A and B are shown apart, each in its own frame.
Chain A
Amino acid sequence: MARKLLLENINVPGINTFDVYRQQGGYRAVEKALKSMSPDDVVEEVKKSGLRGRGGAGFPTGMKWSFLAKPEGKARYLVCNADESEPGTFKDRYLMTYLPHLLIEGMIVSSFALGAKVSYIYVRGEMMPQIRILEKAIAEAKNAGFLGKNILGSGYDLELYVQPGGGAYICGEETALIESLEGKRGNPRIKPPFPAISGVWGCPTVVNNVESIAAVVPIINDGGEEYAKIGNGRSTGTKLISASGNINKPGVYEIELGLPVEEFIYSDDYCGGIANSKRLKAVVAGGSSVPILPANLILKTITGEPRLMSYESLSDGGFQSGSMLGSGGFIAFDEDQCIVRNTWNYARFYHHESCGQCSPCREGTGWMEKVLHRLEYGHGKMSDIDLLVDVAKKIEGNTICPLGDAAAWPVASAIRHFRDEFEWHVTHPKEALERNYGLANYAEFTNAI
């Protein structure tokens, strides 16, 4: 079995309590950092590790930290992004539920590295149980002297608070999250200035995903170089993958980056194959925002190389024949799923979640939802298909934040790879209401069950 850095102790009874977590070697990274390292040393280790942001964009964490402005007399903030709302992604919920102290330990080390005296964990409001878990864990850590004034006699002070959201996918976007934390609507800000210069209350701010912060713990314990030895090329370390859809074993898996996709889908160590002995039709590999790929292209790249679970391999072939690792939300579709219906569902999601600031996103997502709805319900025209491509193109790159792109890509990629299924909805409107298109012949199956 692959090495686990984050979930190693997840099955230890009581690991969600401070005492058990500590007995298992927890909070060693805080001791090491605060007693024997400078903040810059910590940043250096994270740089060496090659860790890339686990929230979706994959930006190198150490580099992001080194951009943080440090003006005299101004507070600096670390905000943990636990808004987790990208369809297909549920790893952060899992981590906070079962290993709250891993996140808190990571927050302490990371806040120390950045010189933050107050840090926030912004949790989506629906995760009230996780908010309770984190609040309890913070109280335990504080009680044990790992939070509050003069932590472990180091002279470093840190207060850590949990902030609930109000239910809005857009608040996962870092500048919308900052607005929301300030008590406002979640309207993304125009960048620049970037949060590293002007974030929460105009102060320099780093926003990092839950999993990125948790990964700092093994990086400090074992050293950045050790972490960088795991994985594949520039995809270093391990990654939590949320696996859902029509597979035998949905759940959260920690993988070493570079694992072959085929192994991930069919091995009993991971997804355990497609449920009900059906065949794989398509996969959305990195959360709903990334392009959907038909089975043949998710298993092998266009040049016939085995596709790997890594930033580089999943994006091999660009958007013509590749996708993205994104947040690691891996959604598998069996042969009975309708691509048009699924695309409509996502379009509705993005329309619902658009903050409405930019016309291309606000209007475009509404158009796409409407047109996809009529295609799915048997009132579509052939020209609707190109209309969708056109609308998607007009949104992409023309908005304040990447939600516009995130709404456009699923539609554009579904039509790119499954156009025949869209056309069939137009030519066979009645039939399309009664049955699904099935596998047809667009995918050649190297791994048919």
Chain B
Amino acid sequence: MLKVTEEQPIEFSSKLITEFNEIVTRYPEEKQKAALLPILHLVQAEYGWVSVPAMDKVAEHLDIKPIEVYEVASFYSMYFLKPQGKYVLEVCRTGPCCLVGAEKIMDYMEKQLGVKEGEVTSDGLFSWRGVECLAACGMAPVLQIGPEYTFHEHLTEEKVDQLIQELKK
């Protein structure tokens, strides 16, 4: 399932390690595995995705088996197991958003960015994908951009253009 796409070993910065350690204090003794999801978010925010060497390093840090990290990273939809564009535009594709035009927005995005869902633009800046309900149906159509998951609501083609221009700066 998982493909090793990057072989270089990874060293986490001391800032990152401090953050990992703070998270572990939220749980009882020996329950440090609970820190796995939040730590994977931090790793992804730092590197843009979670590579196998990064996961191995997380396993080492939490004193769990690498497979325990792989099985989690591959279960949840937010973790990228391969490199993405610098900005990943994630458009909600679920029912309520589609009632007010989400599908047209995705078609438009594909046209403007010139890449298919999941692909990266040649300048490495963008990728896009449809995601399931983002709990913002009253502001539909919506998209989010990690790692802070900033939100863009009531999308129109003009707003998509504007957003792409701003991110290019």
Q: Chain A residues in contact with chain B, CB under 8 A?
A: 75, 84-90, 92-93, 118, 124-129, 159, 161, 163-169, 180-186, 201, 242-246, 250-252, 284, 288, 329, 331, 333, 337, 341-342, 345-346, 349, 352-353, 355
Contact = CB atoms under 8 A, between A and B. Distances in A.
Interface of B: 26, 28, 31, 33-38, 40-41, 68, 71-72, 75-79, 93-96, 98-100, 131-140, 144, 146-151
Contacts of B96: 87-88, 244-245, 331
Contacts of A288: 94-95, 133
A182 B26 CA distance: 12
Contacts of A75: 28
Nearest to A353: B132
A130 B72 CA distance: 23
Nearest to A332: B99
A86 B149 contact: no
A352 B132 contact: yes
Given A88-B96, A163-B38, A125 B78 contact: yes
A352 B28 CA distance: 33
A125 B76 contact: yes
Nearest to B39: A183
Contacts of B132: 85, 87, 169, 349, 352-353
Given A163-B38, A183-B68, 9 more contacts: A84-B135, A87-B94, A163-B34, A183-B37, A244-B96, A337-B99, A345-B95, A346-B95, A352-B132
Given A165-B76, A182-B34, A183-B35, A250 B133 contact: no
Nearest to B99: A245
B128 to A, nearest CB: 15
Contacts of A349: 94-95, 132-133
Contacts of A182: 31, 33-34
28 contacts: A75-B28, A85-B132, A85-B135, A88-B96, A90-B139, A93-B135, A125-B76, A125-B78, A125-B149, A128-B147, A163-B38, A164-B41, A166-B75, A167-B76, A168-B76, A182-B33, A183-B68, A183-B72, A184-B68, A186-B76, A245-B96, A252-B138, A288-B95, A341-B98, A342-B95, A342-B98, A349-B94, A355-B75
B148 to A, nearest CB: 5
A331 B72 contact: no
A15 B16 CA distance: 33
Contacts of A355: 75
B137 A242 contact: yes
A126 B148 CA distance: 8
Contacts of A125: 37, 41, 76, 78, 149
A240 to B, nearest CB: 11
B129 to A, nearest CB: 12
A92 B137 CA distance: 12
Given A126-B78, A183-B37, A183-B72, A88 B140 contact: no
Q: Which 6 A-B pairs have CB atoms at the shortest separation, nearest pair first? A: A166-B76, A167-B78, A244-B137, A183-B36, A167-B77, A183-B33
Contacts of A184: 33, 68, 71-72
Nearest to B64: A183
Contacts of B75: 166, 168, 185-186, 355
A129 B134 CA distance: 13
Nearest to B94: A87
Contacts of B136: 90, 93
A161 B144 CA distance: 24
A118 B78 CA distance: 27
A244 B140 contact: yes
A90 B37 contact: no
A129 B77 contact: no
A368 to B, nearest CB: 15
Nearest to B73: A166
A144 B41 CA distance: 30
B22 to A, nearest CB: 11
A337 B101 CA distance: 11
Contacts of B34: 163, 181-183
B95 A166 contact: no
Contacts of A168: 75-77
Contacts of A180: 37
Identify which of B33, B132, B133, B136 gathers the most chain A CB atoms within 10 Å of its CB.
Answer: B133
A246 B100 contact: yes
A202 to B, nearest CB: 11
Contact of B79 (A93, A166, A251): A166
B154 to A, nearest CB: 10
Contacts of A84: 135
A342 B93 CA distance: 11
Nearest to B142: A90
A168 B134 CA distance: 11
Nearest to B149: A128
